[in-house]
Structure 1
Amino acid sequence: MRLSLRLLLVGTVAACAPMLPEPPLPQIPPQTAPADQTPAPAPAPQAPPDQSYDQSGFEGWKQGFLARHGGARRAAYERELAGLAPDPTVIRLDRNQPEFSKPAGAYVANAVSASRIAQARQRVDRVPWEATQRYGVPAEILVSIWAQESSFGQVQGDNDVIRSLATLAYEGRRREWAEGQLKNALDIVVDGKRARSGLKGSWAGAMGQTQFMPDNYLRLGVDQNGDGKVDIWGSDADALASAANLLAQAGWKRGQSWGYEVVLPPGFDYAEAEGPRHPWSFWAARGVTLAGGGAPTEAEALEEAAILLPQGANGPAILALPNHYVIRRYNNSVSYALAIGLTADGVAGKPGLVARWPDDPPISRDQRINAQRALTQLGYDTQGVDGVIGANTRAALRRWQLANGRIADGYLTAALADELARRGG
């Protein structure tokens, strides 16, 4: 659906992997979603194997997958996987997701534009009123996800979902997750819910106008228009109601915001950011104020909230309420969740951020990997070296910053990555 997930348009929609537990995940270019949902008579033709990949190794993985997951459906799964070759583009994109490689400010500036907000505002009435009442998710949030995930249905992805997921499973970085999603995608085809030729989506396997992963399509897809099928590709109503159901099931707090921009006082202990969540009274007692003045609502003030520093101590500070984390069940990226929340605020006529984003350059994959490797070598375990700067890496960096007399904001810049690489040898 991260896949956000995974939301940047027409070539930069982010792959979303909704309803995933942390760690981070997962969105694409254009396609018109076919309406046909009858079973395909034969598997879709596959691209020839890329010679940089070991096809025999891929075949070995495939036989292992069939042994682990095939069961009574092994023959049907084997038929759909016949002639498949891994897609090298999927591997490249998986390692360079913009939500995790771009500075938050650059990502948000691209995603939260005046034109995007204006387009979303024009489409608010396309969100089914019944769905907003039933699930409690505001139309502004749903239309923002719709914008981010597929440019309102125009950019849904034309990748063979089964091939994409098989590639991710074969690569092995997230094998267990990818194999589970692949099994669900195969079931969609085998059970006749969608033809193989129409099972198109992002490089990460997210599908339709709101980029659902296969498991969420099966569990949370909604037939909002009552035509007897869940068509997240061709039906606005089905896609938006399905997204509302996903967020509701993830714990959306009806009537509450996703968060607020805040101003931190001089001498604020940045080590408390991205740490344990506390009610508003805790943060107010430490001198934190809302950037727009006033205070959270009574219900919001009782919620456990964290202070986020998406671009470090020099960028905007955010009070993240529970609904922020619900959005991250759609795509587990702070940048993605901020883009959705800020777009929704704009659609609702609320002002944008007061603080300016620092103009930090992007960090290359090599720099990110070297920084993770160096932190681990220096005794600050990042829980893996994969080039994705997620919560574990930021926590390790914050511990290193504390030990070295730095501002402990957990934010990795290109210069700091190079310094860590030198220190780590």
Structure 2
Amino acid sequence: MSKVMRFSSRLLLIGCVTACAPMIPETLPSLHAPATPVGEAPTPAPVPTPAPPPADAADQAGFEGWKQGFLSRHGGSRRAAYERELAGLTPDASVLRLDRNQPEFSRPAGAYIQNAASPARIAQARQRYDRVPWEVTQRFGVPAEILISIWGNESSFGQVQGDMDVIRSLATLAYDGRRRDWAEAQLKDALDIVIDGRRDRAGLKGSWAGAMGQTQFMPDNYLRLGVDQNGDGKVDIWGSEADALASAANLLAQAGWKRGQAWGYEVTLPSGFDYAEAEGPQHPWRFWAARGVTVARGGTPTEAEALENATILLPQGARGPAFLALPNHYVIRRYNNSVSYALAIGLTADGISGKPGLVATWPDDAPLSREQRIGTQAALTRRGYDTQGIDGVIGSNTRAALRRWQLANGRIADGYLTAEIANELMSAR
């Protein structure tokens, strides 16, 4: 029987089928799929039906052309085997729709986080706390709360793992071209999983983004970091809770998880704080304390945490809560490179350990449409504030560009995009 560690600090749980990927550039947005609230029973997965052929025959011709290029670039000695697995595929339009409307990047941070870190979800996570093998937490140093949080958030504790053909999803993303190099590399790994007999093709199911299993690993992470925790000779992140949780712990440990440290703290900023310093260079606690930053609930970071370089995050601008993000916050983002996602994981886990909620309240901002997000990026870039891509993903590069525009125009330089600012930028000539 596995021993279980006592509660310590963090967790999350919204049944969402998403991707677990290493830190990726902002041009490769989070691969989260829409969430299923944990307080509700998951909707039974529909029986998959073959997708109809594309309405435009040119689309399929283009897809076939991409496929031949993929086989030439990556097939090598396995070209015939890859070609067999790719035979008869058509691009999946639903994959592209989901890719362009990920909630971590389109919804205000507060709306996303409050949904993910609700009291009901924390209560459900607590009920599953003892499912994390004690040996896993000891071996990898990642608290059980964090692992349960990821488990719940990624698949509603294994109940909603996704029923899409991983190979078809990744082929669609590769054909789309926006993230071709990344998607082709993931597709090659997915094909190798099948060809090497690690998982049969019928069982290689996952999210629209190609993430698989109870902790939603991308194919490369499955091959590199998957752990056979139950010792049955295979890494089964679909059917084995132990394998899935140990694999997630291994990913975080390899990404640099710091044992015994928190992910961060809610902080209070003083009047006159220079918001342009947020999301900028990292500094130890003494730097921020000298500028009047205090921990919102009192106290200070631990001695070890105080020596770490940390960043001030303003996920919903100067009007919303502020956070001191320690190194473990960025490790969580190896799972999903989204501030909202990492904060949701950490705050839910804090709730598991009995910590009180936030002091500050989230502004009730409207979500941004894709047109507003893309229009803002185009407008900023046109004005000389390069967002490093126009893809509708409001990540760190876009926020930095917006902050520069705000500074130049006498605004509070918090780097936060509201619908009002988006409309102003899009309408100005």
In the superposition, the TM-score normalised over structure 2's length comes to 0.92
Q: Give the secondary structure class of the aligned counterpart of 2:324.
A: strand
The alpha carbon displacement at 1:16 in A equals 2.1
- Paired residue for 1:56, among 36, 61, 72? 61
> What per-residue deviation string (whole Å, max 9, x for no partner) do you get for residues 148-196 of structure 1?
0000000100000000000000001100000000000000000000010
For residue 18 of structure 1, report the CA deviation from its aligned partner: 1.3
Alpha-carbon offset, residue 422 of structure 1: 1.2
CA gap 1:46/1:68 in 2 versus in 1, 3 angstroms = farther
**Bigger Cα displacement from structure 2, 287-296 vs 347-356:** 347-356
Q: Distance in 2 between matches of 1:317 and 1:404?
A: 23
Contact in 2 for aligned 1:14/1:26 (Cα 8 Å): no
Give a deviation string over 1:277-323, Cα, whole Å, max 9, x none.
Answer: 00000000000000010000000000000000000000000000000
Which secondary structure does the structure 2 equivalent of 1:397 belong to? helix
Q: Deviations over 1:210-239 (max 9, x none)?
A: 000000000000000001110000111000
**Count of paired positions:** 406
Cα distance, 1:8 vs structure 2: 7.7
Match of 2:21 in 1: 18
Matched-pair contact (CA < 8 Å) for 2:92–2:169 = yes
State how far apart, in whole Å, the 2-side matches of 1:240 and 1:327 are.
Answer: 14
Hey, what does 1:47 align to over in structure 2?
51
Distance in 2 between residues matched to 1:31 and 1:256, nearest whole Å? 37
Q: Does the C-alpha gap of structure 1 residues 363 and 411 become closer, same or farther in structure 2, counting only changes over 3 Å?
A: same
Matched, 1:366 2:383: no
Distance 2:14 2:80 in 1: 39
Contact 2:71 2:83 in 1 (8 A): yes
**1:334 is the counterpart of 2:339:** yes
- Residues 231, 193 of structure 1: alpha-carbon distance in 2 compared, 3 angstrom cutoff: same
Question: How far apart are the structure 2 equivalents of 1:151 and 1:341?
Answer: 17
2:254 matched to 1:283? no
Measure, in 2, the Cα distance between the counterparts of 1:157 and 1:32: 11
Distance 1:25 1:180 in 2: 17
Distance in 2 (CA, whole Å) between partners of 1:268 and 1:158 is 48
1:187 and 1:32, CA in 2 relative to 1: closer, same or farther beyond 3 A? farther
CA distance in 2, matches of 1:410, 1:203: 30
Query: Which residues of 2 match residues 307-326 of structure 1 at below 5 A?
Result: 307-326=312-331
Alignment of 1:22-421 (within 5 A): 22-23=25-26, 24-28=29-33, 46-52=50-56, 54-421=59-426
**1:335–1:157 distance in 2 versus 1, CA, 3 Å:** same
Q: Percent identity?
A: 78
SS at match of 2:67: helix
Where do 5+ consecutive residues of structure 1 fail to align?
1-6, 34-43
Whichever residue aligns with residue 19 of structure 1, its letter is P
| Aligned equivalents of 2:118, 2:30: Cα separation in 1 | 24
Using the TM superposition, give the Cα deviation of residue 115 of structure 1 relative to its aligned residue in structure 2, in angstroms: 1.2
1:26 Cα deviation after fit: 1.7
> Which 4+ residue blocks in structure 1 deviate beyond 3 angstroms?
7-10, 27-33
For 1:246, the aligned partner's letter is L
Summarize the Cα distance change of 1:201–1:27 in structure 2 as closer, same or farther, 3 Å threshold: farther
CA distance in 2, matches of 1:85, 1:296: 53
Bigger CA drift: 52-61 or 183-192?
52-61
Structure 1 position 21, deviation (Å)? 2.5
Provide the rounded CA distance (Å) in 2 between the counterparts of 1:234 and 1:115. 26
